Chains A and B, each alone.
Chain A
């Protein structure tokens, strides 16, 4: 066990890489490399130096997950396999996928969207109200139906129906107050 520990310590690599801001020049000018953290398996943390590079020293053999944390931009998570002084990097989303470039070159992919957008006020939202739509339809029918050319007998039937309605409870709604 002791021998393996010594061998493990003897064979350890440095994990190095460079972090790039967003490609869009308008976004890039707001990118702050000082706010970028790099985490290795969540237990080791480092930051970028003046050349936007980072290094984890003396990493023993094993499999590690490297995350670049920037509160404005999303970076891919990388799986690293360290064996002796060799480091192999893969995209964590693809099982045993192709290797990616090492030393790492981490590119900002997209902006984080943390918040829901408030819907702006729209006059259409009032007009699309179901109550308003139903009332509008009823009024349209009430205006348009009489203007349609109908069979005189059907017309008479409708008038009779209207008279019946007027004598019922609807008349109290439709007739003006006395």
Chain B
């Protein structure tokens, strides 16, 4: 039992004063769709990821709420009474200061939320597919339901009336006092454009206008409407146009601009500045960014100061007050779709690379002397490059993280301090491949062509571009740092080498989830040939797959409690495929080279998402068991069937056929498989093993729970070789270091890697090694980003945190003193004895 709890404690624990030492956290809300200023310099924002938040004047979040569920696009409106949101059928009212729910209602198919005034009070008008429902703000109760025929949207409100446009472009004027409806034939076949308090339907040089609640026909000679700015229209020639009693009048020419979403202001971008104009002819300038502006919200306060928010193309949002930037939030990282760890160069390596890059372009006879002196200088005094922040540290904890955002930008983040160093616009990125410590290739799909961009990862600058005439669907990367190869895979599965490998043929496999087939192919000299093919059973649908990322296997054999050697079957050419037919789950473990099915697992009564993790000889499968109404993990371990009982057996095997630790993917040995099922209390979104460079220390299983917590589990608890309590006989493969079998995985808060930090919207994991064998780096990402160093066996190469250096010094000092005193005492005792004898 003690051994049991010791394992629980060792998996992840840190001390409270180490918070923030080994981890960092980036909080995001996603691409802002609406943002409003509130009192005290705070802002209320809502994003397209369904996140509602209050932002402090410093730019940090005061509070954050998920409006029903992540990635459901919400509707939003607010007033001084509160915030109103709609998502997944639920209409909710929230308080502004704390973000607390006041009430919530189920209303299906809501199209729009608008706050209107009824008499002296405010009510909420909810437009659905065939009604407007009037909801009281205080109680959240339905006051009135007005049936309409195919309404499209509430276009504006004016005094006591709401104006609704239907799908036939007619306007319905609804009186908010007595709820009478007046239908106005309006748009017919013409396009209808509405501003804050009017609508216009243009028919060549004439227009029908609803303005100030009245409908009239006027001459329209200002051209087509290109946009709307508050109460005004922007017409051809970027002219700002106002509708008067009997005509339209051009107020001013505003040029190419971004209109404010909520006021009579607009923003003009130039290469050197962003200028914000208001209709009162005042303006301010802000520093320009190289990133285009997507949206802009502007206000002026009672003092005439400009306040507002600018949303950029990379989803970052900036808050300004006059010419002062108050805060910037990098919300592009709130849409991270994939993530890569890149190694950084050491200072010496960078100086070396810089020198050789320089002489590549300066290699004439006249440059010889200059190059010679440069070489000497570089040995004495490393060239002054601002590299320190992006320079590899002693243990390689510092990495460059390339986060790929759905905003079509990639961000380079330093892994120790989470600082963003550069960003780059990249469309349709397929993969990032690191070529050397300072260079990487970005592989992008460009229609039916593929663009390869060679990138300096320190500066974030493009070195060169190459275009290939194929449509890439995937990228294969094989080999190690010294000898790697990159192949582009097109839709017919032809391979085009981009970076060539010195090795022989390449084996790869294709999983076709549409027809449930898997094929293994060999690529040699530009030609693919089929090696094996497999078709799953009728009705089986492929859900997911995973490859065995074994890496370096330091310990291919395990000594058991009965002094025997058993051999892991940890072929890194194995992969596992999970498929489902009705409620039956099938998992196949297949050798990618030979196509041999090493193992086939069947589990009935399964539903929900399936997650796989595969490391060395261990395969774990997480699923929901319908019959027992709980989450379970099936653990499978693969061993070679031959067991060596003694040293003579090992020698005999060696002289007869080679080490038992060797194996070839072409010939599958006899395999013994152990399986066991464990009950795990929670659902998960992803799970991965940590990896280390040498593979010496044991890995930890990292899981993202459905509650957005990150849980670290010692794989010893999931071993299928845990002995049953009443089984006294020692089996051949038993391991006495494993705890006695219990079906429930023990749960301990000490293994929650994010401790009390609230994470939202994390769904994917990425892991990487460091130069310390005890330490791996793990990052969870999607909406938030959380990076942590995981040390499953931290005492392997690091002194423990509570190692008492003072005790050692005191002990050694005390012993030395004792030694001197005892010497003195013995010498005086001997002298006395000699004197007496």
Where the two chains meet, the residues of A that have a C-beta atom closer than 8 Å to any C-beta of B are: 14, 34-35, 37, 39, 41-50, 54-55, 57-58, 63, 65, 67, 69, 71-72, 74, 77, 79, 81, 90, 92-93, 95-96, 112-119, 121, 125-126, 129, 131-132, 135, 139, 166, 173-176
A47 to B685, alpha carbons, bound, how many Å? 21
A118 touches B801 (CB 8 A): yes
CB <8 Å contact, B100 and A50: yes
Task: Tell which of B69, B631, B709 touches A43, judged by Cβ atoms closer than 8 Å.
Answer: B69
User: Looking at A50, A57, A79, A121, which has the most chain B CB atoms within 10 Å of its CB?
Assistant: A57
> Considering the chains assembled together, what is the distance between the CA atoms of A96 and B63 in angstroms?
39
When A42-B685, A49-B102, A125-B804 are in contact, do A113 and B749 touch as well, CB less than 8 Å?
yes
- Interchain CB contact under 8 A, B65 and A57: no
Judged by a CB distance under 8 angstroms, whether B261 is at the interface is no
- Measured in the bound complex, the distance between the Cα atoms of B707 and A74 in whole Å is 13
Contact present for A58 and B811 (CB under 8 Å): no
- Contact indicator B752/A112 (Cβ below 8 Å): yes
Q: A34-B99, A58-B106 are in contact. Are A113 and B750 (CB under 8 A)?
A: yes
Interface residues on B, range: 35 or more
In the bound complex, do residue B101 and residue A46 qualify as a contact, i.e. CB atoms below 8 Å apart?
yes
Residue of A nearest to B752 (CB): A114
A135-B818, A175-B823 are known contacts. Are A95 and B628 too (CB-CB below 8 A)? yes
Q: Using an 8 Å CB-CB cutoff, how does the interface string of B812-831 with A read, 1 for contact, 0 for none?
A: 00110010001110110010
Task: Name A90's closest neighbour in chain B (CB-CB).
Answer: B629
User: Which chain B residue lies CB-closest to A50?
Assistant: B100
- The contact of B823 among A45, A166, A176, by CB within 8 Å, is A176
When the two chains form the complex, which single residue of B683, B706, B826 contacts A175, counting CB atoms closer than 8 Å?
A: B826
Q: Which candidate, B13-21, B348-356, B591-599, is the interface stretch facing chain A?
A: B13-21
Main secondary structure of the interface of A (DSSP, over half): mixed
Chain B nearest CB from A169 CB (Å) reads 14
Cβ–Cβ < 8 Å partners of A44 in chain B = 68-69, 88
Please give me the residue from chain A that is nearest to B628 by CB atom: A95
6 cross-chain pairs, A with B, having the tightest CB-CB distances, nearest first: A42-B706, A176-B827, A57-B106, A114-B755, A71-B756, A112-B749
Contact A65 B683 (CB under 8 A): yes
Contact bitstring B679-692, A, C-beta under 8 A = 1, else 0: 00111010000000
The B289-320 residues at the A interface (CB cut-off 8 A) are none
B487 at the interface (CB under 8 A from A): no
Measured between beta carbons, the chain A residues less than 8 angstroms from B755 are 71, 114-115
Q: When chains A and B are docked, how far (Å) is the Cα of A135 from the Cα of B823?
A: 13
Contact between A173 and B758, CB atoms less than 8 A apart? no
A58 contact from B89, B802, B818, Cβ within 8 A? B89
List 5 additional A-B contacts (Cβ < 8 Å) besides A114-B16, A116-B14. Answer: A45-B70, A63-B626, A69-B707, A125-B804, A126-B814
Given the complex, which residues of B lie within 8 Å of A125, measured CB to CB? Answer: 804, 807
Given contacts A39-B706, A44-B69, A118-B802, contact A174 B752 (CB under 8 A): no
Q: Is B117 an interface residue (CB 8 A)?
A: no
Does B510 sit within 8 A of A, measured CB to CB?
A: no
Residues of chain B from 698 to 722 with CB closer than 8 A to chain A in the complex: 705-707, 709
Check B749–A74 contact: CB distance below 8 A. Answer: yes
Interchain CA distance A114-B814 in the complex, whole Å: 38
Closest chain-B Cβ to A103's Cβ sits at a distance in Å of 15
Q: Looking at the complex, which one of A57, A72, A77, A118 makes contact with B756 (CB distance below 8 Å)?
A: A72
Report the nearest A residue to B91, measured CB to CB.
Answer: A57
In Å, the complex CA distance between A57 and B102 comes to: 15
B630 at the interface (CB under 8 A from A): yes
Highest count of chain A CB atoms <10 Å: which of B744, B749, B801 = B749
- A to B contact number (C-beta, < 8 Å): 147
Cross-chain contact A48 with B100 (CB below 8 angstroms): yes
* 6 intermolecular pairs with C-beta atoms under 8 Å apart: A37-B66, A65-B706, A72-B756, A79-B630, A112-B752, A114-B752
A115-B16 in contact (CB<8A):
yes
B105 engages A57 (CB within 8 Å): yes
Query: Which residues of chain A are near B758, meaning CB under 8 Å?
Result: 35, 37, 71
- Residue of chain B at shortest CB distance from A112: B749
Which residues does chain B contribute within 8 Å of A95, judged by CB atoms?
628-630
Which A residues are in CB contact (< 8 Å) with B70? Answer: 45
Chain B interfacial positions (CB closer than 8 Å to A): 9, 13-17, 63, 65-66, 68-70, 88-90, 98-106, 108, 626, 628-631, 681-683, 685, 705-707, 709, 744, 749-750, 752, 755-758, 801-802, 804, 806-807, 810-811, 814-815, 818, 822-824, 826-827, 830
Known: A175-B823, A175-B827. A131 touches B682 (CB 8 A): no
- Residues on the B chain within 8 Å of A112, using CB: 749, 752, 756
Q: Which residues of B contact A35 (CB under 8 A)?
A: 758
In the complex, are the beta carbons of A175 and B830 less than 8 A apart? yes
A49 CA / B100 CA spacing, docked (Å): 6
- Alpha-carbon distance between A69 and B757 when the two chains are bound, in angstroms: 12
For the complex formed, measure the closest distance between the CB of B384 and the CB atoms of chain A, giving whole angstroms.
43
Which of A90, A116, A174 has a CB less than 8 Å from the CB of B826? A174
B106 contacts A139, CB within 8 Å?
no
Q: A48-B101, A135-B818 are in contact. Are A116 and B749 (CB under 8 A)?
A: no
Q: How far, in whole Å, are A57 and B89 apart by their CA atoms in the complex?
A: 8
CA–CA, A112 and B751, complex, Å:
11
Q: For B65, what are the chain A residues with a Cβ–Cβ distance below 8 Å? A: 47
Most buried by B among A47, A58, A81, A96: A47
Shortest CB distance A16–B (Å): 11
Asked whether A77 lies within 8 Å of B682 as measured between CB atoms, the reply is yes
Instruction: Tell me the complex Cα distance, A72–B757, Å.
Output: 10
Residues of A within 8 A of B706 (CB): 39, 41-43, 65, 67
B750 touches A49 (CB 8 A): no
B13's contact among A14, A34, A115, by CB below 8 Å, is which? A115
Distance A90 CA – B100 CA, assembled complex (angstroms):
28
Q: If the complex has contacts A67-B706, A95-B628, A125-B804, are A116 and B811 also in contact, measured as CB distance less than 8 A? A: no
* Across-interface contacts of A175 in B (CB, < 8 A): 823, 826-827, 830
A114 touches B89 (CB 8 A): no
Known: A114-B752, A135-B815, A175-B830. A63 touches B14 (CB 8 A): no
Nearest Cβ on chain B to A99's Cβ, whole angstroms: 13
In the complex, A147 Cα to B69 Cα: how many Å? 83
Residues of B within 8 A of A90 (CB): 629
Contacts of A166 in B (CB 8 A): 830
Q: Which of A63, A79, A96, A114 has the most CB of B within 10 A?
A: A114
Q: Considering the chains assembled together, what is the distance between the CA atoms of A90 and B13 in angstroms?
A: 32
What separation, in Å, do the CA atoms of A175 and B823 have in the docked complex? Answer: 6
**B389–chain A nearest beta-carbon distance, Å:** 30
Is B15 within 8 A of A42, CB to CB? no
User: Which residues from chain A contact B707 at a C-beta distance below 8 Å?
Assistant: 37, 39, 42, 67, 69
Closest partner residue, chain B, to A96 (CB atom) = B629
Closest to B94 in A: A47
A119 to B804, CA, bound (A): 10
Chain B residue nearest in CB terms to A49: B101
Q: A50 — which chain B residues lie within 8 A by C-beta?
A: 100, 102
Q: Chain B residues near A118 (CB, 8 Å)?
A: 15, 17, 801-802
- Residues of A near B63 (CB, < 8 A) are 34
A74 to B709, CA, bound (A): 13
Q: Which residue of B has the minimal Cβ distance to A130?
A: B811
Q: Which residue of B lies closest to A47 (CB)?
A: B101
Neighbouring B residues of A132 by C-beta, 8 Å: 811, 814-815
> By the criterion CB–CB under 8 Å, are B810 and A126 in contact?
yes
B822 CB to closest chain A CB (Å) equals 7
Contact, CB under 8 Å: A115 / B68: no
How many Å lie between the Cα of A103 and that of B711 in the bound state? 30
Chain B residue numbers with a CB within 8 Å of A77 are 681-682
CB pair A14–B629 under 8 Å, yes or no, is: no
B629 touches A115 (CB 8 A): no
